[in-house]
Structure 1
Amino acid sequence: MEENIIKINKVSMSFKLTRDKIFSLKEYVIKFLKQELEYEEFKALTDISFELKKGEILGIIGFNGSGKSTMLKIISGIMKPTKGSVEVNGNISPLIELGSGFDMELTARENIFLNGYILGYSKKFLRKHFDEIIEFSELGEFIDIPVKNFSSGMIARLGFAIATTVNPEILIVDEILSVGDFKFQKKSEDRIKEMIKNGVTVIIVSHSIEQIEELCTKVLWLDKGRVKDYGETNRICKEYKNS
């Protein structure tokens, strides 16, 4: 029997939100030191459980505020859950906030190496795949321009090209297939489909139900931080569209 590559067991995530209206850092520090801050608990996720086997493609759907991105960050290790356990048996390439590891003052060339190091790539590997990254991102004429001058779409394209240079064991995608123009969206989707063919386990968050129906073998439907349904793609997507 094939082992699970991901196992999420009764995961919950809560945040403390201050009730006070604070207009400066100084005011916050004073209230904090005097223990005058009042908080209320916000439960982003409650008792989430599911399992994925190697090569499965999971789509996570739900309306805004349902906890989709929080779930991805927990699986990626960016956040630690308040309760529950997360087991991940494989290396992860998270495409959650593309360009978040960039230094805006550095050029695209310099950021390829900086962001690549953050993702665990060696200098030798990045040199070998440098031309491939530039070609895929379609940013060759901007390679020596500081990324602070890039549009958000250009930054996302560069981040996507770096992060998908190799096939990871697990790919996590948060609305990334909507970056750039139509041509680049198609190219990004084709690259992810190629990864799927190569046996990469993929978790996708998307507001495009058509995309989820086309790519995913399973669907997790979150509603206000709880599991509303989990299982077969066509059935759940049909119920979601009728909700």
Structure 2
Amino acid sequence: MAAPVIALTDVGIRFRRNRRGRRNFKDLFAGRKRRSRPGEFWALRHVSFTVQRGEAIGVVGRNGQGKSTLLKLVTGVVLPDEGTVHVVEGVAPLIEITGGFVDDLSVRDNVYLTAGLHGMTRKQIDSRFDDIIEFAEIADFIDTPYKHLSSGMKVRIAFAVISRLEEPILLVDEVLAVGDKAFREKCYRRIEELLAGGRTLFFVSHNERDLRRFCTRGLYLDKGDLVLDASITEVLARYNADYGIKPA
């Protein structure tokens, strides 16, 4: 079997209830592990799994069980307090999707800024700019300040940019829960195109139909623990049974 593109080994991450309780740089360089203090909790604990290139994985669990934290670990936005996270390929994060966009810049400038921050060259952005704008359906607003766009328009342009990145791993965290049904379906078809091209997918959603549509494997998180790593069918059945949810 080929080497995994993502590997988590006995990973744990701790937060404070009133504010983030991350390790400081002195702790990181000294390799120290802090003991739990009053008011702290483990968002994830003893989580281990590997992901092969091209897998499509749905992450399941109630709100506050560690799903988004898991994706942030994979992107490198946060560091674990215990264990190791190893990611060998680039990541296109569709999480907190409009983060990084600058209100006072135009849509055009935000496309170049955001795509550039994600590693695209000016030449690459030039070649894809028209496709990005056409996909987002905002051709009449490219020189409008970003702050004047509706929330739906902001999601459209952000998805259009991130989905044009060439990174092999795609992380999607409920970002398409807003917006109109027609555009959501358009985004889903784009995700299917990326999967057909061999991309690896992490998909966080509460929508069972969407999870079944995209994913073959599931990770079920509960209270920071990885309860089950199995087929998406088995994971959804276990999750529904645990909480008395009627299957979709």
TM-score exceeds 0.5: yes
Partner of 1:16: 16
Counterpart of 2:239 in structure 1: which amino acid?
Answer: Y
1:153 deviates by 1.6
1:16 deviates by 2.5
Check conservation: 1:157, 1:179, Cα contact below 8 A. no
Higher Cα Rg, which structure = 1
Deviations 1:89-119 (A, max 9, x none): 1111011011201110111011000111111
Distance 1:39 1:155, change over 3 A: farther
Check conservation: 2:103, 2:145, Cα contact below 8 A. yes
Q: Distance in 2 between matches of 1:197 and 1:16?
A: 41
Q: Distance in 1 between matches of 2:155 and 2:41?
A: 30
Q: Distance in 2 between matches of 1:166 and 1:110?
A: 17
Partner of 1:230: 229
Partner of 1:88: 87
The 5-angstrom pairing of residues 120-199 of structure 1 reads 120-199=119-198
Partner of 1:27: none
Unaligned regions of 5+ residues in structure 1, if any? 20-37
Q: Distance in 2 between matches of 1:151 and 1:83?
A: 41
The 5-angstrom pairing of residues 101-112 of structure 1 reads 101-112=100-111
Partner of 2:33: none
Q: Distance in 2 between matches of 1:162 and 1:95?
A: 10
Partner of 1:7: 7
Q: TM-score, normalised by structure 1?
A: 0.89
> Alignment identity in percent?
38
Q: Distance in 1 between matches of 2:210 and 2:159?
A: 18
CA RMSD of aligned residues (A): 1.4
Check conservation: 1:18, 1:39, Cα contact below 8 A. no
Check conservation: 1:17, 1:39, Cα contact below 8 A. no
Counterpart of 2:79 in structure 1: which amino acid?
Answer: K
1:87 deviates by 0.8
1:166 deviates by 3.6
Check conservation: 2:8, 2:86, Cα contact below 8 A. yes
Q: Distance in 1 between matches of 2:57 and 2:18?
A: 34
Unaligned regions of 5+ residues in structure 2, if any? 20-36, 243-248
Superposition misfits of 4+ residues, deviation over 2 angstroms: 16-19, 176-179
**Count of aligned pairs:** 225
Q: TM-score, normalised by structure 2?
A: 0.87
The 5-angstrom pairing of residues 54-73 of structure 1 reads 54-73=53-72
